Amino acid sequence: MNEPIIKIGVTYTGTDEKHSNYVRWLKGNEHIEITTLSPLHTDLESIKDFDGILLSGGVDMHPKFYNSTVTDYPNAPQHFHEKRDEFEIAVFQKAQQNNIPVLAVCRGMQMVNCILGGNLTQDIGPEANGIHKFENHDKGHGINIVPATLLNEITGVDRTMTNSAHHQCINNLGEGLLVNCQSDDGIVEGIEWEHKENKPFFLGIQWHPERMYKFHLNELPATKNIRDRFIKEIKISGKVTS
């Protein structure tokens, strides 16, 4: 019997080097096929054929997608990528329609929040940026995990260390979501469904588990356990074929 092939679509984060981190992290030692998803090369109708979807990090989404007209905020990008925003919004919607497990990382988590009617703090400010914003390398800080949440179940801990590379954060929470962890300064670091019955697996995290190996943190529950649980959820979703 052929070994089942797990097919995961990963949205293109913007550079090949960063994208390769997701591929390496997800594949591990398993028989997993990774496909790069992008508005130029992906037919949206093909999303239904994937077993799992990872919404990656990257440049800030355009403020119009969370009903803001302010585009000149501190640390705003020189160029937004609206085609990417529109494409990834559609990818998430297709995944939901087809009961496909979704893992959303950094920008991906913020995007899901906005798709569901939430919005963002456009820049967390100098003090918080000193803790959270990428500056030549990722930063690191602790997170406090809410008891009895999915994230708590996955990690098995109430507190752990994560890396950090963001200057925006969730402000108003999207409909149907639950905050599952926060940093010590109160920034939302993770979200999940509030009511999980009859919904596909979804976890959103503000950190970058795919590159925690660079800091020798790849065995921490905030990276290893999340990857393993995502793959497990894909396998039990019933979509994987031989």
Catalytic amino acids?
Answer: 106, 208, 210
Distance CA 79, CA 59 (A): 9
Q: Read off the tokens for 227.
A: 């990857």
Specify the 3-state DSSP secondary structure of 15. Answer: coil
Specify the 3-state DSSP secondary structure of 39. Answer: coil
Whether the CB-CB separation of 146 and 123 falls below 8 Å is answered with: no
Whether the CB-CB separation of 38 and 19 falls below 8 Å is answered with: no
Whether the CB-CB separation of 132 and 141 falls below 8 Å is answered with: yes
Distance CA 136, CA 209 (A): 18
Whether the CB-CB separation of 12 and 57 falls below 8 Å is answered with: no
Specify the 3-state DSSP secondary structure of 220. Answer: coil
